[in-house]
Amino acid sequence: MVENKELQQKRSNKIIFVYRIVVSIIMLVSIILVYILNHLGESKEVDAMITQNNLLNGISDSNIMDNSISAEHITSEESLKKLSDWRLMLVNYENEMPKDYIPPLSNIDEARQFDSRAIDSLIQMMLDMNAVGINHVWAQSTYRNPEKQKHLIEESIQEYLEQGKTMEEAETLTARSIGEPYKSEHNLGLAVDFNDVDYAFEKEKAFTWLVENAENYGFILRYPADKEDITKIKYEPWHWRYVGPEYAKEMNDLGLCLEEYIEYLKNN
């Protein structure tokens, strides 16, 4: 009996010893794990801080994670602001202007109107042309309300039909020069057609002057010859669009038409 009790005591001592060792190991492993996890979190925070500082200082490093994502984020906010600017409103064959959009209008003369926010730039541009002796220039067509646009299309189709074209040809030819209602920049009040709205304008001093100087007043040649595939409008030397001087200069410097510039902003 005494021997048995001693044996039992020894056994339970052994069990307690093993139990303590196991518990110690588990605790040690837990401490190590917690340390490792905390350290990983810290190093991520440090990476984020480095990335942020580099971005603030304009340093880009492809080895730093998340840099490109953050950089994109910063630029896209800027671009988003530009993309919502009224001066860059894109109206073309595939972008209809909102039907309820009525631009603020001011009168150039009794018959013609232009967006009130851009009219001073247009008038100043024409006055400055006059000041350097270019007098043979006038704004033939500016703002058109969408209803008037419908009439123009009907007139143009009629003219082509009278020239012996088929209805399909007449419609196609018309679509190349007159935008559908709500798809023409003239409905925006930001476009101006100069003189007789024909190719003779290209030979005018006014045209040469505009190519050099219009960007300073915020105007761009909207349908250049080398962008017909993109604008889907044939080259129009007479049609100038107001976008504001900053955008006009940037578009000219980059060699981009409005459609391309919008894409450029979306991708940057």
If the CB atoms of residues 193 and 215 are measured against Zn ion, the closer one turns out to be 193
Q: Which residue from 193, 201, 220, 241 is in contact with Zn ion, where contact means CB under 5 A? A: 193
DSSP string, 137-189: --EEE----HHHHHHHHHHHHHHHHHTT--HHHHHHHHHHHSPPTTSSGGGTT
H/E stretch holding 78: helix 67-83
The region of 53-61, 93-101, 128-136, 185-193 touching Zn ion under the rule CB under 5 A is 185-193
- Given 78, 154, 236, 259, the catalytic residue: 236
**94 in catalytic set:** no
The region of 11-19, 25-33, 189-197, 226-234 touching Zn ion under the rule CB under 5 A is 189-197
Closest approach of Zn ion to the CB of residue 191, in Å: 5
Q: Judging by beta carbons within 10 Å of its beta carbon (0-12, 13-18, 19+), is residue 230 exposed, middle or buried?
A: middle
DSSP string, 114-139: EETTTHHHHHHHHHHHHHTT--S--E
* DSSP conformational letter for 195: T
Place of tokens 């009794």: 110
Q: Which residue from 87, 144, 227, 239 is in contact with Zn ion, where contact means CB under 5 A? A: 239
Q: Beta strands of the chain (E only): which ranges? A: 105-107, 113-115, 139-141, 191-194, 219-221, 239-242
Q: Does 241 bind Zn ion (CB under 5 A)?
A: no
Task: Round to whole Å and give the CA distance between 249 and 218.
Answer: 8
Closest approach of Zn ion to the CB of residue 94, in Å: 18
Q: Does 215 bind Zn ion (CB under 5 A)?
A: no
Closest approach of Zn ion to the CB of residue 223, in Å: 8
Q: Does 144 bind Zn ion (CB under 5 A)?
A: no
The region of 66-74, 91-99, 121-129, 186-194 touching Zn ion under the rule CB under 5 A is 186-194
The structure tokens listed for 5 are: 């009790």
Sign of CA dihedral 265, 245, 191, 198: negative
Task: Round to whole Å and give the CA distance between 52 and 194.
Answer: 50
If the CB atoms of residues 193 and 204 are measured against Zn ion, the closer one turns out to be 193
Residues 6+ apart with CB under 8 A from 137: 126, 129, 130, 194, 195, 204, 206
The region of 11-19, 144-152, 160-168, 188-196 touching Zn ion under the rule CB under 5 A is 188-196
If the CB atoms of residues 67 and 237 are measured against Zn ion, the closer one turns out to be 237
Q: Does 183 bind Zn ion (CB under 5 A)?
A: no
Q: Does 112 bind Zn ion (CB under 5 A)?
A: no
Please identify the residue of the shown chain whose CB is closest to the bound Zn ion.
Answer: 239
If the CB atoms of residues 129 and 188 are measured against Zn ion, the closer one turns out to be 188
If the CB atoms of residues 72 and 198 are measured against Zn ion, the closer one turns out to be 198
Q: Does 187 bind Zn ion (CB under 5 A)?
A: no
If the CB atoms of residues 126 and 265 are measured against Zn ion, the closer one turns out to be 126
Site of interaction with Zn ion (CB under 5 A): 193, 239
